[in-house]
């Protein structure tokens, strides 16, 4: 049985700091998908599932002003990757009052996230667990996960003292539990990396 009794104890963090090199650079989440920003599709999926929502992105936060969400930059300098974004989310959560016990993270390029993402991840939290990540068709989705805020200082140490950068290494280090999600159409973990992916996502949305 899950040791999370109340889903309202979970906040959400959208990792929007990717540099979108395969899309020509810039903010991937601001690319248009079916007439609105890709990021807005992700927000629409995740916001109903969490108590609060924040964006993790570096640079001028004003470019995300239309989304009416807090924007936090990386807690660790040098843009060391998504682990820094996860840490920033945990730091943001710890500063809230009351502070949520758990944070769920998802990237800004997954427009079809499961509508029961948080519930399924939370159901996998057994006694003593501090991290649960999604898996789909046997493949880990390493940045789509649920993290206990108790991991903050361990993750900070891993980044600053140990030079850890790969999310998969962090999953091993914190003994993350993988939760397999059922098959669905479209692929709930479809992520947009290229112009072709963006066109494919638009087709999938048009198809219903």
**pLDDT recorded at residue 1:** 43
- CATH code: domain 8-203 is 3.90.550.10
**pLDDT recorded at residue 97:** 83
Question: The whole model's pTM is what?
Answer: 0.94
101-130 residue pLDDT tens:
999 999 999 999 999 999 999 999 988 899
Q: What radius of gyration do the chain's Cα atoms show?
A: 16
The number of helices, as runs of H, and strands, as runs of E, in the chain is 6, 9
Give the CA distances from residue 208 to residues 13, 28, 33, 110, in Å, rounded to whole numbers and listed in that order: 27, 23, 14, 16
């Amino acid at each position: 049985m899950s040791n999370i009794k109340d889903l309202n104890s979970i906040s959400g963090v959208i990792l929007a700091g990717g540099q979108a090199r395969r899309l020509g650079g810039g903010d991937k989440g601001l690319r248009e998908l079916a007439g609105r920003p890709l990021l807005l599709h992700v927000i629409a999926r995740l916001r109903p599932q969490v108590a609060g929502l924040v964006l993790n992105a570096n640079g001028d936060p004003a470019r995300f002003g239309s989304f009416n969400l807090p924007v936090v930059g990386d807690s660790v300098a040098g843009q060391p990757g998504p682990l820094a974004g996860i840490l920033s989310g945990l730091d943001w959560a710890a500063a809230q009052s009351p502070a949520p016990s758990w944070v769920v993270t998802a990237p800004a390029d997954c427009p079809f996230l499961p509508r029961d993402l948080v519930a399924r991840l939370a159901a996998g939290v057994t006694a003593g667990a501090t991290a649960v990540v999604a898996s789909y068709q046997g493949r880990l989705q390493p940045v789509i996960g649920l993290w206990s805020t108790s991991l903050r200082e361990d993750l900070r140490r891993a980044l600053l003292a140990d030079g850890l950068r790969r999310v998969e290494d962090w999953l091993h280090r914190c003994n993350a539990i993988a939760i397999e999600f059922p098959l669905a159409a479209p692929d709930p973990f479809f992520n947009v990396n290229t112009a072709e992916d963006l066109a494919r996502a638009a087709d999938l949305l048009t198809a219903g």
